[in-house]
Structure 1
């Protein structure tokens, strides 16, 4: 069963009580003759009460006009004096405060002027009481409207706060997924590419250069072991498994020899500046960029050698990786390598450029501010 709105229920109650009071008054005053105006004006006022939700200002004017005309013209003292209070409250509650104040003031003024003659319908005490009820009805409607607006604003802010929290959670989740994907690409992509290069070298030199083949197989073994360790560590973090921390030291600019040696390339290094005092975040980003750049040299450069220059100077870490290959952009077929390196650089307020060199080959140039972690 459909539930009626509270305003509709109140309207029906007001109408029912008014009709009942009118009928009782008529029965008690059976010595009076009922005229048309005694019925028409109360019906008009009751109709205005029923329609006040849809047309609050029109109902306000109609009900007060009918009430003001009823008492000096009718022969029956019906209790419709309470109906104007209802429409005054509704008009103020719907935001028509000026209309309610103006109409109520005009009604009190007309009522006061009408009571200056010989025949008085209300005494001074009743007039003051009616004026007080007019003010109270308008004030109650205004307070109700303000309270509803306050509650709606509070609900809106709560919804916006919840929506903001959801957006922030989604943003953080996206950033975390991107970070994990970048870490997996940097670690696994580098090691698997190295395994592939060393496996090719072992196959080519298995018969002619067995010593080189053995060295390549040993590199494959160590690299695959390192790959499994890195993968196990990453998955352990994702699963929140309490495992023993890795015993091997992390990549660092202060240990570039091990990083370069694991690349399987002939790398000529040029180092300058206090690389052992670089902030941790910058150090990690720099080594990841170097590892990815060397990985792509191994993948795409036929020369098999590269030049690595790292300098910490003037508040920045400058990284340059050059190769003498055919100059094919390593973004072709290398997935998210260049994207990941650029994201690491820009996340710290730095920059990264990559492209063919005028003299041939390919170059990766990165600039990372030393205060990028702050």
Structure 2
């Protein structure tokens, strides 16, 4: 029942159309002299009824259109001239075309047109009046359909933008968790392999590996908790890792059994949060790839700070080719390019090299 209660804009529109219809009908009786038939109470009642029907134009658009079309047809069959009552028909046709599917609205508008043509053929100008009469239905139908198509297009664009945002957010969450968990698990696996290998003959070295596993897992859990807190609440970004912790990251990789050299050139400036976190994640994922796929157990890390950019490079002996599968390399590429940076991952001269250049000016 609530849906049948007219809304305030519909009440105002129905009242306006009714007043225009009454005023125009009364004025038309005297505008052209005594030869024009004066509006009788019956004609005014039809005008008022057609205007009042618009109160439910959005709740019952098809019923309102049928009612208004019958009232207008009756008004004309009684010998009244075309007048402001047709404004009610315009509004009813427009509403149907605006709020109902195109096929349904087309059928309803066609039926209303047939009803309107009856007085045109019976009491009106005959065939000469078909085109003018049809215009009272075709024009508002076209306008209503145009408005509907445009609003549906805007709604689809909004839904598509929301869907892309959700997909991007899911990908970002997957990438964050992948980077944190992947690096920790890769280091833990290598340390566990070392412990299993030396346990029978060198239990003291196995103990060292197990202690490294404990530290690595604790660090990874702390970082995972901080990352999930940021993703869950959008706060806590001050706890997000950055390039100031590059030494800790390299040391953790060394404890996993990988020989890693670190070279830092230049003085680290105050980095934008996005650049700081992206640089750390690129280093983390690149070192994870070295742990998983590197040859020779060696790697090199270089971080160069300049006034306009930070350049990160990780390389290791490798005879294969750069793989784009999984989330690793594509994820690093996405992160860097999202900041307007440059990213390469390729094998040259027997070394696999990951290089990322992060501009500072565009990320401010």
- Which structure: larger Rg? 1
> Which has the higher mean CA deviation after the structures are superposed, 297-306 or 200-209?
200-209
- Structure 2 vs 1, CA of residues 273 and 9 (structure 1 numbering), >3 Å: closer, same or farther? same
**Aligned counterpart in structure 1 of residue 125 of structure 2, from 84, 101, 106:** 84
* Aligned positions of 1:246-325 closer than 5 A: 250-264=240-254, 265-313=258-306, 315-324=308-317
Indicate the residue corresponding to 1:340 in structure 2.
331
The secondary structure found in structure 2 opposite 1:349 is coil
> Which has the higher mean CA deviation after the structures are superposed, 256-265 or 224-233?
224-233
What CA distance in whole angstroms lies between the structure 2 residues aligned with 1:167 and 1:362?
39
The secondary structure found in structure 2 opposite 1:94 is helix
Query: How many residues of Structure 1 are paired with residues of Structure 2 in the alignment?
Result: 269
**Aligned counterpart in structure 2 of residue 205 of structure 1, from 198, 211, 236:** 198
* Aligned positions of 1:109-188 closer than 5 A: 141=136, 149-188=142-181
User: 1:170: how far off?
Assistant: 0.6
Structure 2: stretches of 5+ with no match in the other structure: 1-61, 80-109
The secondary structure found in structure 2 opposite 1:306 is strand
* Aligned positions of 1:13-24 closer than 5 A: 13=74, 17=78
8 Å CA contact 2:242–2:280 kept in 1: the answer is yes
8 Å CA contact 1:282–1:372 kept in 2: the answer is no
The secondary structure found in structure 2 opposite 1:303 is coil
- Structure 2 vs 1, CA of residues 371 and 93 (structure 1 numbering), >3 Å: closer, same or farther? farther
Structure 1: stretches of 5+ with no match in the other structure: 19-49, 67-79, 96-140
What CA distance in whole angstroms lies between the structure 1 residues aligned with 2:294 and 2:155?
51
The secondary structure found in structure 1 opposite 2:253 is coil
Indicate the residue corresponding to 2:346 in structure 1.
355
Please, what TM-score do these two structures have when normalized by structure 2? 0.62
* Aligned positions of 1:49-68 closer than 5 A: 53=113, 63=121
Please, what TM-score do these two structures have when normalized by structure 1? 0.61
* Cα-to-partner distance string for 1:332-371 (whole Å, 9 max, x where unaligned): 7x7210011111111111121112121x221111111112
8 Å CA contact 1:319–1:367 kept in 2: the answer is yes
8 Å CA contact 1:266–1:306 kept in 2: the answer is yes
- Structure 2 vs 1, CA of residues 178 and 331 (structure 1 numbering), >3 Å: closer, same or farther? same
1:94 paired with 2:120, answer no
Indicate the residue corresponding to 1:9 in structure 2.
70
User: 1:296: how far off?
Assistant: 0.8
What CA distance in whole angstroms lies between the structure 1 residues aligned with 2:221 and 2:134?
70
1:370 paired with 2:360, answer yes
* Cα-to-partner distance string for 1:10-31 (whole Å, 9 max, x where unaligned): 587469757xxxxxxxxxxxxx
What CA distance in whole angstroms lies between the structure 2 residues aligned with 1:52 and 1:196?
76
Indicate the residue corresponding to 2:213 in structure 1.
220
- Structure 2 vs 1, CA of residues 251 and 84 (structure 1 numbering), >3 Å: closer, same or farther? same
- Structure 2 vs 1, CA of residues 91 and 317 (structure 1 numbering), >3 Å: closer, same or farther? same
What CA distance in whole angstroms lies between the structure 1 residues aligned with 2:112 and 2:247?
86
User: 1:373: how far off?
Assistant: 1.8
What CA distance in whole angstroms lies between the structure 2 residues aligned with 1:203 and 1:165?
56
8 Å CA contact 2:230–2:237 kept in 1: the answer is no
- Structure 2 vs 1, CA of residues 181 and 319 (structure 1 numbering), >3 Å: closer, same or farther? same
What CA distance in whole angstroms lies between the structure 1 residues aligned with 2:332 and 2:190?
22
8 Å CA contact 1:350–1:369 kept in 2: the answer is yes
- Structure 2 vs 1, CA of residues 281 and 235 (structure 1 numbering), >3 Å: closer, same or farther? closer
- Structure 2 vs 1, CA of residues 281 and 240 (structure 1 numbering), >3 Å: closer, same or farther? closer
What CA distance in whole angstroms lies between the structure 2 residues aligned with 1:86 and 1:222?
93
